[in-house]
Amino acid sequence: MIDTTLEPFVSELWIYPIKSLGGILQDKVQLEKRGFQYDRRWMLVDDNNHFMSQRKISKMALISVALADFGLAVRAPDMPALIIPYPDPQIELLEEVKVTCWNDQIIAHHINTAIDNWFSEFLGIDCQLVYMPESTLRAVDIDFAKNNEITSFSDGYPNLIVSEASLEDLNSRVDIHLTINRFRPNIVISGCEPYAEDTLGHFKINNIDFFAVKPCSRCIVTTINPETAEKESQEPLKTLATYRKKNNKVMFGQNLLHQFNPAVVNELRIGDKLIIIEAAEKLIF
């Protein structure tokens, strides 16, 4: 269970505007109904309109994304800078396209072919960039939903939480240095013991209710060095499998749902404390 003598707090906040591309470290974030503002609202799809990720195209790790005044600033080695305008629903309705993200068929908006060509040239594969409009409501797994929650182009849940202590413990067990961005969390916490996220259960951050509903199963993306896009070893999956395996899946971090209140400003900042309302039972591996 969580050590009540410790005071967990938010140490990092991350968004990943384009699914499976580089993340952005933020001092504060706005929490919307489907997750952090801008988080995974854009996605690359192949010529079958199926989502693309580092699982098959590790070179995606080399594309960085930043928030600029008028859109996303995207950069990649030996490519000109690219600006992807923020959508303006007041101006025009973009072309609709049905895309697949895991088992979900989703209506998205195609932006333009010039942007597609930039990504296709760098990745060496024909692809399109699409955006999830406000009208598209992608539900989370009904087996874990609490109040008909929705998410973006994430792997399935609005947010993911990992503790610094868990990463430090894992690093003490492997012979390579792992950085937190291998695990692509939205919320990183400190001031707690390793794997405290396993038992978070129901908690609050800045008066926003969060619920840790499902351990995050890990895949080959964690073995890809985000700086080089190369798979250097079987770590950390090989080591995690020795002590974090459940139902034949390797677990690290917790998927979160939250209670969204449109009447107030839902904001998280670095340094915000976690208030545990009801801890969950310790996971058995």
- What is 139-203 written as a DSSP string? EPPTTT-SS--EE-SSSSSSEEEEEHHHHHHHHTTSSSPPPGGGS--SEEEESS-TTGGGG--EE
User: Please, which residues have CB within 8 angstroms of residue 39's CB and are 6 or more apart in sequence?
Assistant: 15, 16, 17, 152, 154, 186
Phi/psi of residue 139, nearest 5 degrees = -80, 150
Q: What's the confidence (pLDDT) of residue 93?
A: 66
pLDDT tens, residue by residue, 165-174: 999 999 999 9
CA–CA distances in Å: residue 145 to residues 100, 125, 203, 213, 278: 21, 36, 16, 8, 17
Q: Is the pLDDT of residue 75 over 50?
A: yes
**Residues 98-102: what's their mean pLDDT?**
98
Residue 132, sorted as left (phi over 0), alpha (psi -120 to 50) or beta, turns out to be beta
In the chain, what are the domains? Answer: 9-278 (2.40.33.20)
Per-residue confidence at 94, pLDDT binned at 50, 70, 90? confident
pLDDT of residue 3: 52
